[in-house]
Amino acid sequence: MRIPFFLFVSATVLQAQTAELETYIEVRSGTLPIILTVPHGGSLKPDNVLARRYGVTGTDANTVPLAEMIIEELEKRYGGKPHAIISRLHRTKLDPNRELEEAAQGDPTAIAAWHRFHDSAQKACDTVMKKSGAGLLLDIHGHRHLDQRVELGYLVKGDLLKRSEAELNGDAALIAATCIRELDKRSPQSFAELLRGPQSLGGLLEFRGIRCLPSPSKASPGFMASYFSGVYDVAAHGSRSGGTVSAIQVECPWNHVRDTPEHQRRFAVALAESLGVYFEVHFGRKLK
Ligand SMILES: [Zn+2]
């Protein structure tokens, strides 16, 4: 049977588009109950994708090599890889960490790339839930705020972090609106402890020499100081709207974390070690 010419052409176009999208959004499946999303580390600026006209377009430099090291250090310790979804597009072309309209601004290729990023993240979450029961998504970023700490975002605004432990633990509506909603139910520790106790992610990282916010040493941002509490990725794929995968936005400073390969490695080791303890304490299971 002869294949009609238009069908042949559209199949070829589709194949080319699929290959293009696979280059723009890299998807790696894993075996650990951990998902890494890296939305802002890309450098590709293809001519056929229109430049975004508004919103933030600055790249999170070195977050891709940093994520590679985190993957390696997790594998070394726990014998498996995390799932990873990495945007290779420069943020002037796509911002996956925003709603579709602001993210792609009408460009058809950027729209398709956004869908690939989020469909893949959701698929990874579904796999983790099916295979491991529950898990954690870390959305990896970089910031240049004056106070050079790793900012951990739980969808709790900086001014709310100023509250006392009792106030935080007593605010059911606030807890339900965070991306660790399900983890709060699962963990034997309180919500405030999950945010800034010694075994919070900030506490575990600080114990390994990485300054964090929130953490036992820094409960909330200083007066007028900037702090990123989380945006689209953690809201869309964390446990705020259901499911058993919780999410944390990990905003890495430039100094001492992203600036050199040695510092990137040191952070990756600290994070991998911390996650082992974090899973035992809060998820009640070993990563291995
Ligand atoms: Zn970012």
| Percent of the chain topping pLDDT 70 | 97
pLDDT band at 16 (very low <50, low <70, confident <90, very high): confident
Q: Does residue 154 carry a pLDDT above 60?
A: yes
Nearest C-alpha neighbor of 86 from the set 75, 71, 107: 71
- Per-residue burial over 127-155, b = 16 or more CB atoms within 10 Å of its CB, e = otherwise: bbeeebebbbbbbbbbbebeebbbbbbbb
The average pLDDT across 90-98 equals 98
Distance 202 CA to ligand 1 centre (A): 19
Distance 63 CA to ligand 1 centre (A): 9
Distance 13 CA to ligand 1 centre (A): 32
Supply the DSSP string of 214-247, one letter for each residue. Answer: SBTTB-S--TT-------HHHHHHSSTTSSSEEE
Distance 43 CA to ligand 1 centre (A): 13
**Domain 25-283 in this protein, CATH class:** alpha beta
Distance 231 CA to ligand 1 centre (A): 9
The average pLDDT across 62-66 equals 98
In the DSSP assignment, the letter for residue 44 is B
| Percent of the chain topping pLDDT 90 | 93
Distance 232 CA to ligand 1 centre (A): 11
Distance 199 CA to ligand 1 centre (A): 25
Q: How far apart are CA 160 and CA 167, in angstroms?
A: 9
Distance 93 CA to ligand 1 centre (A): 14
Distance 96 CA to ligand 1 centre (A): 10
Q: How far apart are CA 188 and CA 138, in angstroms?
A: 21
Question: 53 by DSSP, 3-state: which?
Answer: coil
Distance 255 CA to ligand 1 centre (A): 16
260's CB contacts (< 8 A; 6+ apart) are none
Distance 200 CA to ligand 1 centre (A): 22
Distance 1 CA to ligand 1 centre (A): 51
Distance 141 CA to ligand 1 centre (A): 4
Distance 143 CA to ligand 1 centre (A): 7
Q: How far apart are CA 77 and CA 93, in angstroms?
A: 36
157's CB contacts (< 8 A; 6+ apart) are 229
pLDDT band at 121 (very low <50, low <70, confident <90, very high): very high
Instruction: Please state the three-class secondary structure of 250-264 as a single string.
Output: EEEEHHHHHCCHHHH
Q: Does residue 1 carry a pLDDT above 60?
A: no
Amino acid 9: pLDDT:
65
Q: How far apart are CA 32 and CA 45, in angstroms?
A: 32
Q: How far apart are CA 249 and CA 201, in angstroms?
A: 11
pLDDT band at 209 (very low <50, low <70, confident <90, very high): very high
Distance 142 CA to ligand 1 centre (A): 5
Distance 235 CA to ligand 1 centre (A): 14
For CA atoms 44, 81, 189, 266, the dihedral sign is negative
pLDDT in tens, 162-193: 999 999 999 999 999 999 999 999 999 999 99
